Amino acid sequence: MKFLDRPPRFLFFTGKGGVGKTSVACATAIHLAETGRKVLLVSTDPASNVGQVFGVNIGNTITAIANVPGLSALEIDPQAAAQAYRDRIVGPVRGLLPESVVKSMEEQLSGACTTEIAAFDEFTALLTDSALTAGYDHIVFDTAPTGHTMRLLQLPGAWSGFLDAGKGDASCLGPLAGLEKQREQYKAAVDALADSRRTRLILVARAQQAPLREVARTHAELAAIGLSQQHLLINGILPQSEAENDPLAAAIHERELAALQNMPDVLQRLPCDRLMLKPFNMVGPTALRQLFEDTPTTTEIAVDSPLEPDEPKLSDLVDEIAQDQHGLILLMGKGGVGKTTLAAAIAVELARRGLPVHLTTSDPAAHLSETLNGTLDNLAVSRIDPQQETERYRQYVLETKGAKLDEQGRALLEEDLRSPCTEEIAVFQAFSAIIREADSQFVVMDTAPTGHTLLLLDATGAYHREVGRQMDAKDLHYTTPLMRLQDQHRTKVLIVTLAETTPVLEAANLQADLKRAGMAVWAWIINASVAASKAKSPLLRQRAANELPEIEAVATQHTQRHAVVPLLQQEPIGVERLLTLVGH
């Protein structure tokens, strides 16, 4: 493995849910520990299953892994970190400042940005406090900080007083209010991340077009802020031997070869490792030790044993959706789970039934036109372009708020408007205009990856509360976008996931976040299921058997309404293949 060649002290693994970054991070930690090093494995993933992998309760304290000498682990709980972070900032001023000011501070600290920065705050000490980690040769992080968080931490300190004076339209800068004391520590942490002698970033992906596009964007975002020393690790490649007697396996193999041959140029220039797909789950040190080895396929599943689950189909959900004749359909979930494809499939099927449909996306990585590859009566397609909307919003703020500022104030306002969440507020404005159309037709929306979507919903919630403060509900009737999203007669939220441990955990966390925002999830869709696809390859059949407990967990623990979509031999591109996903 190239990424294990002369490893520095800090190794960060980042990637979308379901690509296997936790497995790779755990296997790396075991490998380093078994070469005689002292290793600390740290997870900052809100859906962390490191403890589950090792069969140990870890939590937010350093815990020794008994059956791997030299290895300890720590799970940072981002939600707990965010609450402690809020208490630390707001607590000292309770009773000293007016209640309205305290509530305003809590509002600023209620969003997803706070959670990201709080988690960064937790592991900053691991990067900068040599006494805290003096006993460890290597610290392995499962989930690196995002480019979004890093960009926030690089904003200048001068904006704090600028925002307090009411001169700026803060996007997501509230979480950093009052943190000048930690700024030097943050700078030291960012410097450590950018130093290739101390830190190596490993981008984990699958041999599929969408995850590779996602990881290319992550590479660009991190490189733009100085984190340029990166490795690429492509996980879970189907061995060619599995393709010999199984049309599905053969089709997957061909697709993976094509994805690897057509990787974005920026990825082809990175040092790269490839790991073969294994038939077993990555749970326990014995399994993890085999991840970096090309072990032959072994399976306990007989070729003729029944595996295909008798689960509801996507057509069952569409039948129920169609009865309403109109409404907003939001598909949500982590990147790489197939939201764009399923949004297109649902929209195409509703249009085929003669119902008017507007299919749209706020995902900067979405390629709806490529997925549809054609037109259909009753179907309109659009895309909210984040760059265009952000530039339109920036110009509006500069022409209105900025016109009243002096040169220094305008410079700070421009810096504020370069913060990552400015894009979310801009996209929200376009989003608000589109969802009103759902009163007279179907609007099917493929949303951006979860973190972005939650920030967008934070903006929606802030707008909703501001309208409520300014209007007397007893005298005036008003409907805000959040009220539309919370109304189950107008809006159906569909969470998309894969039948794998981490994506299901992440989907459950998303559902909890939406519940806190007053939004109920209508249904779950388990996409690209091997168990539902009648695979013949021994390795794929073992993978199918591993999916069954996850499918059962979704059906019995997480939702009252779900559907399972099979992994298809042909990629669902074009109207006819999209209809196949819905059973036509």
**% of the chain with per-residue pLDDT over 70:** 80
**CATH number where 517 lies:** 3.40.50.300
What angle is formed at CA 182 by the lines to CA 179 and CA 186, rounded to 5 degrees?
115
Which pLDDT value is given to residue 249? 94
Q: Which residues contact 19 (CB under 8 A, 6 or more apart)?
A: 204, 205, 206, 211, 235, 236, 336
Q: Are strands 71-75 and 63-64 parallel, antiparallel or unpaired?
A: antiparallel
Which of 1-5, 310-314, 389-393, 560-564 holds the top average pLDDT? 560-564
Range of the domain at 34: 2-79+133-162+182-289
Catalytic residue among 15, 16, 22, 199: 22
The answer to whether 382 and 358 have CB atoms below 8 angstroms apart is: yes
Q: Do residues 370 and 493 both lie within one domain?
A: yes
CA distances from 499 to 68, 399, 525, 573 (A): 29, 49, 10, 22
Angle at which helices 386-400 and 421-435 cross, to 10°: 100
* 518: annotated active-site residue: no
Q: Which two tokens stand for residue 44?
A: 């900052």
Is 84 part of any domain? no
Domain closes at, from 256, 289, 322? 289
Q: Is 286 a catalytic residue?
A: no
pLDDT tens for 390-442 read 899 889 888 887 888 888 778 777 776 776 667 767 777 788 788 889 999 99
Residue 580 catalytic? Answer: no
Has 316 been annotated as catalytic?
no
| Same-domain status, 477 and 418 | yes
Number of H helices, E strands in the chain: 23, 15
101: tokens are 């000011």
Contact 135, 38 (CB under 8 A): yes
Give me the pLDDT at residue 563, please: 96
Q: Is 534 a catalytic residue?
A: no
Structure tokens at 539: 């390795």
Judge whether 439 counts as a catalytic residue: no
pLDDT band at 449 (very low <50, low <70, confident <90, very high): very low
Cα torsion 292, 296, 301, 307: sign: positive
Same domain, residue pair 146 and 229: yes
The verdict on whether 502 is a catalytic residue reads yes
How do beta strands 230-237 and 199-206 pair? parallel
Cα 71-73-79 angle, rounded to 5 deg: 170
114 contacts 21 by C-beta, under 8 angstroms:
no
- Neighbouring C-alpha atoms within 13 Å toward the C-beta of 302: 3
Question: Are both 345 and 206 inside the same structural domain?
Answer: no
Instruction: Pick the catalytic residue from 45, 77, 169, 363.
Output: 45
* pLDDT tens, residue by residue, 196-221: 888 899 999 999 887 888 889 888 88
Instruction: Kindly state whether residues 264 and 319 are assigned to the same domain.
Output: no
Q: Within this chain, do residues 367 and 492 fall inside the same structural domain, yes or no?
A: yes
Catalytic residue of the set 14, 16, 17, 23: 23
